[in-house]
Amino acid sequence: MEPVFPFDLDLPARGAGRIARDLHQQLRAAILEGRLVAGAVLPATRRVATALGIGRNTAVTAYDLLIAEGYVLPRVGAKPVVAEIAQRRLEKARTARAIDRKNWLNDSWRATPGLTTPPGILPPRSFRLGLPEHRYFPHAIWRRLVANALRRQARSGFAYGPSEGIPELRQAIAQHVAFARAVACNADDVIVTSCAQQAFALLALKLITQARRLVAVEDPGYPALRFAMSAAGAELAPTPVDEEGLIVDRLPPGVRIICVTPSHQSPTGVALSLRRRRALLDYARRHDSVIIEDDYDGEFRYGARPLDALQTLDRDARVFYVGTFTKSLFPELRKGFIVAPPWARGAIVEAKYVVDSHSDTVVQMALAAFIRDGHLARYVRHMRGVYAERRAALIEGIEVQLADWVKLIPAEAGLHMAARFLRRRDAAMILRAAALHTPGAVPLTNYAVSRDVAPGIVFGYGVIDAGEIGPAMLKLRRALEKGDRSI
């Protein structure tokens, strides 16, 4: 029989009064030690009595004592629950117990989450980065596809999924990425991951060795990528970025792994020029390096002529193409992928098996159907129009209103744009004013490794309407005109 409490009770037979007190004391200890937590529903006294072979009144007496002391709350027509007060006392007990053992931890690497502001602090419509629009997403279609996938699962039985992803999703991603981004691949080359971040972690785990630990990263660049590399033992070689993207000539010698965002550099937004793309592939050939191509925001391009992906230009099986559905669909989906050269595929699948076995099969089924049925292509096409309008409003806002303070960095893709400060000394003033009038915008230097990165500001337009951008920029301008002191 199932035990009535999840711990042992010791109630020697000796008069109902003594038993009630024993029970009361042992339950109270369980609450104080956290074996029964605040909000836990206690079993009915009738069940307690039967299970423990005691009188029901004895159980009622024990409960009454707990209620009298405030450990347990009675509820009308429902079983009593453990009270919050107990929780607070417990917190103290636990803190006392917790020996400081921070020196126990591996601090050869650290990560600082929270580059972007946590939800709840910014207004829902803001200039925050990296978050896509949800208003035009076909929620009802997605709900239907998820329900279909769950029904399929209910019919077929439970199963562990393949570490590399389910075949239908790998096939759908291969077709999508081949068509949308001209990436040369088929289903076998695709490994499904939990977003781009896991893709970085898997590649780091299998590519970095003691002998090959110098990893080039863009400066400024995406911090979480750097954390993933460092956690796997990398030594970072921050490499500067200009208006043509990563400055290939500045790559130090001996770099064996190069991380790059060619479509839309993160965070400056510039595209890696064709000249640089060829130079980078040439560097890789000469130094026997591999390239991790993060096609960050690559779905949303506004120019007529997208440049070929590095993966497309590569004739030497050196490029790992990393894609994600975080921006083209939504972050909670947690789905990204690697298009890997054949020589490395098996090893990356192994890494995926080791870090979390496989990704959620039901969501994979729904996503495969969403792509296959054309919803993704349609949605991206629609959103490209929506974002293009916002981008135009942002360019106009920056160029018309803020021309005295900043200079826009040209960008043809993505969901954000960056601008550099004309005068370094304005930086603090502009950032303070922006915090008030364009909330969510962040300093470019948040992404910097070295102090050489020119300061600037990055505006996202994923969750702000085109019509709100101009007025916000006007307010920002007025604040800047009033000058430093009044802000």
Q: Which helix (H) or strand (E) holds 416?
A: strand 416-421
Residue type, 12: P
Position of tokens 């009454």? 64
How do 319-324 and 290-294 pair as beta strands?
parallel
d(CA 333, CA 228): 20
Distant-in-sequence, close-in-space partners of 396: CB < 8 Å, separation ≥ 6? 470
CB of 283 to a copy of itself, least distance (A): 16
151-190: contacts with a copy of itself (CB under 8 A): 151, 153-154, 157-163, 171, 174-175, 178-186
> Is 10 a binder of a copy of itself (CB under 8 A)?
no
Distant-in-sequence, close-in-space partners of 350: CB < 8 Å, separation ≥ 6? 163, 206
> Is 3 a binder of a copy of itself (CB under 8 A)?
yes
300-329: contacts with a copy of itself (CB under 8 A): 304-306, 308, 312, 315-317
- Is residue 109 a contact partner of residue 235, using CB atoms and an 8 Å limit? no
d(CA 234, CA 262): 22
Phi, psi of 79 (to 5 degrees): -70, 150
Among 75, 89, 92, 143, binds a copy of itself (CB under 8 A): 143
71-100: contacts with a copy of itself (CB under 8 A): 87, 90-91, 94-95, 97-100
372-411: contacts with a copy of itself (CB under 8 A): 381, 384
> Is 52 a binder of a copy of itself (CB under 8 A)?
no
> Is 105 a binder of a copy of itself (CB under 8 A)?
yes
Q: How many residues bind a copy of itself (CB under 8 A)?
A: 125
Closer Cβ to a copy of itself, 11 or 347, answer by number: 347
CB of 479 to a copy of itself, least distance (A): 27
Partners of 212 in beta bridges? 209
> Is 455 a binder of a copy of itself (CB under 8 A)?
no
> Is 342 a binder of a copy of itself (CB under 8 A)?
yes
CB of 392 to a copy of itself, least distance (A): 14
Position of tokens 């439970």? 158
> Is 291 a binder of a copy of itself (CB under 8 A)?
no
> Is 2 a binder of a copy of itself (CB under 8 A)?
yes
> Is 28 a binder of a copy of itself (CB under 8 A)?
no
What tokens were used for 271?
Answer: 């595209």
Phi, psi of 445 (to 5 degrees): -70, -15
Supply the Cα-derived Rg of the chain in whole angstroms: 29
> Is 1 a binder of a copy of itself (CB under 8 A)?
yes
428-447: contacts with a copy of itself (CB under 8 A): none
